[in-house]
Structure 1
């Protein structure tokens, strides 16, 4: 079995009135190449006539975002002309590439009516050869994402990237990556083989799992060694797991604010390009 290196608890980092926890990066873990950053917003319940998510227009370059909507909704709009509102169970995949401006806010309906909200955003690095690629965005609702069942229907898997159990993911990644959202009923169990040379992203959104004979609760990220290939997962409670794996890039990473590049000079250039309007025109 793949050996666990360390279990990292998400740190509490509220943003305005938005409950937020982050297990990556922290003082104990900078990144799991090529997985850079995770914010876990909620669970919380918004009252009617709320302000919703606080992420107004802001730029990005050199990375990608994968956004998981567990409860509530998120309205995406960017300077490349993409716009959508994605609801519970849906996923958004955005490639910032050479640069764009986007906003991630709640829909007018959610701000008027209120409701439950739980949303996670994962940042993926881009290899040096693709950091200046053309930006792209795809938002899919729950019923547009390929899914399959395991363990006599006690496990539902949304296949986002790569292939698992003969099911191809909803998104074509810009580099080879496999990623799934796994919903497990209490008592459910599965085993998955992952090549030893691939790094694993393993974050428990809800519930509690037995991970290779180690109990891990929600809001924890499991860091694995690159030895052994099998993950054996048992659900001690109803649970939600984000499971991804990919080969590391083994390239320099220089991150500053919304930009993730390979050198400090490239960061300076990103700020200059943004200030000169090269990230596209924002239309509010």
Structure 2
């Protein structure tokens, strides 16, 4: 991994009812390919009094990808989707011109102890699709391509790589991979990737050129050729990236767009409650009084 350009340490962030570890955006690196936002949720042990309740909130100009390692979240949105996501499955919601969703602990788990652990990811949309109609897809764990290669377990959660294609209906050239290894061994996978790349260590470690990198670190490559590195025993890593867009993406709260004036309109629409409503949901997250 001789081409590491940046090491990003996970930073604590409060999302209301839950603390997360923020990885992107970072002041020196706003995006990796089309990936503009990554939160590491947990691992959290929750009592029978603790529940996840992220109230209805809006998005524009992006797709959200939720991938859990432990626990369960009930997703509801203004398109009418109501889906429980469990570990290994993918929730893929494309906001386009505007969508509202909530994320809560499912009813049957609310009075019991439970764990929650996973990744919340935002992927920006190509400029020509920023105003598309919103869509939602749930892809079950057994639909995700999984295989063994050079002694490691691989999963292609989204996008295309290694001659495989995930059924997650992405809107640009990208990849999001899970790699697990029980044994310490050398890997060389750069020739199968493209665009910008980053590597996140969930468990275990990787080592390169005498340097050891531990969990809660995001390693950003100078290019997608991740070269050779050694993955430690009992390690799980995630590699993501893809082709960056030619235009900059602006982020303000939950809004992503290539145009600042579009974000201002979304902000005004949310403050005045012009976004669509979620069937059966009441309450909402107010727009915070700050500017990023």
**TM, length-normalised to structure 2:** 0.87
Q: Could you say if the C-alpha distance between residues 186 and 253 of structure 1 is closer, same or farther in structure 2, counting changes exceeding 3 Å?
A: same
2:233 to 234, 237, 262: 237
Pairing 1:142-157 to 2, within 5 Å after superposition: 142-152=141-151, 155-157=152-154
Cα RMSD (Å) of the superposition? 2.3
- The alignment status of 1:134 with 2:130, answered yes or no, reads no
Pairing 1:63-82 to 2, within 5 Å after superposition: 63-82=62-81
Q: Is the 8 A contact 2:58 2:98 kept in 1?
A: yes
- The alignment status of 1:165 with 2:162, answered yes or no, reads yes
In the other structure, the counterpart of 1:13 is 13
Name the CA distance, whole Å, in 2 between partners of 1:52 and 1:141: 24
Q: Could you say if the C-alpha distance between residues 68 and 211 of structure 1 is closer, same or farther in structure 2, counting changes exceeding 3 Å?
A: farther
The offset of 1:106, in angstroms, is 1.4
Name the CA distance, whole Å, in 1 between partners of 2:56 and 2:200: 28
In the other structure, the counterpart of 1:246 is 242
Name the CA distance, whole Å, in 1 between partners of 2:62 and 2:188: 31
Deviations 1:163-217 (A, max 9, x none): 3333321212111112212222241443212478611132112221125764211
Deviations 1:240-269 (A, max 9, x none): 222122111031222111111122211111
User: Could you tell which deviates more after superposition, 160-169 or 105-114?
Assistant: 160-169
Aligned length: 280
User: Could you tell which deviates more after superposition, 155-164 or 270-279?
Assistant: 270-279
- The alignment status of 1:113 with 2:112, answered yes or no, reads yes
The answer for unaligned runs of 5 or more in structure 1 is: none
The answer for unaligned runs of 5 or more in structure 2 is: 282-292
**TM, length-normalised to structure 1:** 0.89
